[in-house]
Amino acid sequence: MEAASPAGPGGREPHAPGSASLLLWIKGRLFTWDILKTIALGQMLSLCICGTAITSQYLAERYKVNTPMLQSFINYCLLFLTYTVMLAFRSGSDNLLYILKKKWWKYILLGLADVEANYLIVRAYQYTTLTSVQLLDCFGIPVLMALSWFILYARYRVIHFIAVAVCLLGVGTMVGADILAGREDNAGNNVLIGDILVLLGASLYAVSNVCEEYIVKKLSRQEFLGMVGLFGTIISGIQLLIVEYKDIASIHWDWKIALLFVAFALCMFCLYSFMPLVIKVTSATSVNLGILTADLYSLFFGLFLFGYKFSGLYILSFTVIMVGFILYCSTPTRTAEPAESSVPPVTSIGIDNLGLKLEESLQETHSAVL
């Protein structure tokens, strides 16, 4: 009998099983509905951040208005009027007064971390370079992963670390494109102070995001936003009076400046409102990787609004970041159970219960005799 031809019936060669398995893996892991939805939500947040960056740049370059704390204060006021008021009309453990009575000091610390993270990053631009801010701001991602490991018991796989490295490579490509395009025109007057401010701001962002993920998944989105709105308004209002009252007094208000403030506040309000929804279905780390593209959106808009020079490296950077983001989302992280003590708990039944137990034992003995 002749051996069967490897080409199979009709002389056609079969598909290689390796390539077929790879295509099935890519289709089943990288292009699922959940991943596509996560990508869309992440890019929506990036566009919100892009909106805040563009309006802030317009205020600074066209109208010489540098009031980041005032802009944040307006956003916290919107959160207060929406979500804090919502908590005030709830009952039971979701009521505003009940939450303040039980956890007021925790939310003061959370509000402080959130306000100062925003302020330190913006303030760092006055001391250091754009490149330093873009690179060192990524320091928040490993800090966030470490905090998630110890606080949220998140456990990562090798592919997650590879995905983060790919995303950071994309950020490096973006910074290189900035330098080649000539955007690195600010040498900074005290680079060390600026770099320290960026690292502190990125770390505080990580703390705020981990707390946000915990509260959103364990408690509620409304509680997080309501408490941040309440204490963010108080803290940013006090800091506003201390550090920016002269800058605010020097603003020559007109409808264009007012419109830019409104646009910034709406973009920031949408960012704060939608980010908990995205974190609830993904994770804080995943969201932070997704919004790395926000600077690229700002650059693309800047080509038309501010006359930036185009570089093909921007497209490459966007592609690399998205590949890393998709890789990270392709494999879910797992949650480890908190370690329990190996020592069994000591229980005490008390004198009354001891007597009851003796009585039950006597009754069982009497029944057995009968």
How far is it, in rounded angstroms, from Cα 216 to Cα 203? Answer: 20
* pLDDT at residue 105, as a whole number: 93
User: Are the C-beta atoms of 130 and 258 separated by less than 8 Å?
Assistant: no
The identity of residue 96, as a single letter, is L
Q: What is the CA radius of gyration of the chain?
A: 28
User: Which run of H or E residues covers position 335?
Assistant: strand 334-335
Q: If 0-12 CB within 10 Å is exposed, 13-18 middle and 19+ buried, where does residue 108 land?
A: middle
Between CA 366 and CA 370 the distance in angstroms is 6
pLDDT at 137: 83
Q: Which pair of structure tokens corresponds to residue 180?
A: 């080649």
Task: Kindly give, in sequence order, each residue whose CB lies less than 8 Å from that of residue 139, ignoring residues fewer than 6 positions away.
Answer: 198, 199, 202, 203
List, for the chain, all residue ranges whose pLDDT scores fall below the cut of 70: 1-31, 130-131, 181-189, 337-370
Question: Distances from the Cα of 116 to the Cαs of 110, 122, 201, 290, 344, in angstroms?
Answer: 10, 10, 7, 23, 44
Q: What are phi and psi of 153, to 5 degrees?
A: 60, 35
Q: Are 181 and 309 in contact (CB under 8 A)?
A: yes
Contact criterion met (CB below 8 Å) for 134 and 178: yes
In degrees and rounded to multiples of 5, residue 268 shows phi and psi of -70, -40
Total-model pTM: 0.80
| Per-residue pLDDT, 282 | 87
Among residues 120, 113, 146, the alpha carbon closest in space to that of 224 is found at 113
Integer Cα distance of 34 and 96 in angstroms? 34
Model pLDDT, residue 360: 46
In a 10 Å sphere around its CB, with 0-12 CB exposed, 13-18 middle and 19+ buried, how is residue 367 labelled? exposed
What's the confidence (pLDDT) of residue 106? 93
- Number of neighbouring beta carbons within 10 Å of residue 247: 16
Look at residue 336 in the predicted model and tell me its pLDDT. 75
**Confidence (pLDDT) at 130:** 67
Residues in Cβ contact with 38 at an 8 Å cutoff, skipping those fewer than 6 apart:
278, 281, 282, 286, 290, 329
Give the 3-state secondary structure percentages of the chain, helix then strand then coil, rounded to 5: 80, 0, 20
| Residue 327 to residue 25: CA distance in whole angstroms | 12
